[in-house]
């Protein structure tokens, strides 16, 4: 078995204004860091509307298409922009996670990493925000549940910002456990422990500014891993944001690259215990280019170790 790397050049055509943190160079640095690794490289398809309709209404999908500019930018909110290539990039990003689920559950690969942009975990049912257009991680979960017939799927989101979109999209989904750690206080302001979903299946782990790796490891060991074991997912989906890194400019957590290695390795061990090692990971945030490259490489190296 091996690890799939799923990406598409269209994701490099999602251009943002000069100075915007979610920029083309992010994906370029990730892909360069992963270039030497032994991965099965897969071209991301365009997501079908039928796939996206699992999480977004038809009117919202049409609105995103219609917002595509002929040139320049369309501004969706204070920090979310579309360029002429952004819509295709978003459909490739969504298509990547669908393909990843199909490959992992079909036994073609042990696990998969989707190196995509725009990211997805802030996109709510009918609202694009926080650099995100479609809810990629939630889509992966719903595709696994509804198309492949799984009974239980877990999503683990360790991006420094709360995955409000994933929470919104999975709020009523009893078959999906969502575990999300985030700095608090920090944009978007959600992610309190009492936001626990319609079925008590959402676990929010707020972390104070300045929280380092030791505190993170203790929090995951005490709160996240027992819930995963109790839930017994048949697939683990990771929203892999690397902006909790101590060098990231948009937040104030103090994780090291070694902390991302540890967390990924622990999740791989749990996946081996609970769901035959099946993991789908998708890129979210991370805005210091060197830290992003190092942490994403460390993350994927652990996926490769788990697959061999």
User: What is the rounded end-to-end Cα distance, in angstroms, of the chain?
Assistant: 6
Q: Judge residue 156's burial from the number of C-beta atoms within 10 Å of its C-beta, 0-12 exposed, 13-18 middle, 19 or more buried.
A: buried
Residue 122 annotated as catalytic: yes
Determine how β-strand 3-7 pairs with β-strand 111-114: parallel
Q: How far apart are CA 242 and CA 288, in angstroms?
A: 9
Which single residue is written with the structure tokens 């994701």? 11
Rounded-to-integer distance, Cα 85 and Cα 118, Å: 11
Other C-beta atoms within 10 Å of 278: how many?
A: 24
Give the active site residue among 14, 56, 121, 122. 122
What is the DSSP annotation of 95-120?
HHHHHHHHHHHTTS-SEEEE--SS--
The residues near 162 (Cβ < 8 Å, ≥ 6 apart) are 180, 182, 184, 186, 188, 189, 190, 191, 204
Residues classed as catalytic = 122
């Amino acid at each position: 078995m091996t690890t799939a790397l799923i990406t598409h050049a269209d994701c490099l055509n999602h251009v943002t204004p000069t100075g915007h943190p979610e920029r083309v160079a992010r994906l370029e640095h990730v892909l360069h860091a992963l270039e030497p690794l032994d991965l099965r490289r897969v071209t991301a398809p365009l997501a079908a509307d039928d796939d996206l309709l699992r999480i977004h209404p038809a009117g919202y999908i049409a609105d995103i298409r219609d917002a595509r500019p002929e040139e320049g930018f369309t501004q969706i909110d204070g920090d979310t922009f579309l360029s002429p290539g952004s819509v295709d990039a978003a459909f490739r990003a969504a298509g990547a996670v669908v393909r990843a689920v199909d490959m992992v559950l079909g036994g073609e690969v042990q696990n998969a990493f989707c190196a995509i942009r725009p990211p997805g975990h802030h996109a709510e049912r009918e609202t694009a925000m926080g650099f995100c257009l479609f809810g990629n991680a939630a889509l992966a979960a719903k595709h696994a549940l509804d198309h492949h017939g799984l009974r239980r799927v877990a999503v683990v989101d360790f991006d420094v910002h709360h995955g409000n979109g994933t929470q919104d999209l999975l709020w009523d989904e009893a078959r999906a456990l969502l575990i999300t750690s985030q700095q608090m206080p920090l944009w978007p302001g959600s992610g309190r422990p009492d936001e626990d979903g319609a079925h008590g299946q959402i676990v929010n782990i707020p972390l104070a500014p300045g929280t380092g790796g030791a505190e993170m490891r203790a929090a995951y060991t005490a709160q996240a891993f027992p819930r995963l074991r109790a839930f017994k997912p048949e697939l683990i989906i990771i929203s892999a944001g690397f902006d909790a890194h101590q060098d990231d400019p948009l937040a104030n957590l103090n994780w090291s690259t070694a902390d991302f290695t540890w967390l990924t390795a622990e999740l791989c061990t749990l996946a081996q215990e609970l769901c035959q090692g099946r993991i789908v990971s998708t890129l979210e945030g991370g805005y210091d280019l060197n830290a992003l490259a190092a942490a994403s490489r460390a993350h994927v190296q652990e996926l490769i170790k788990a697959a061999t």
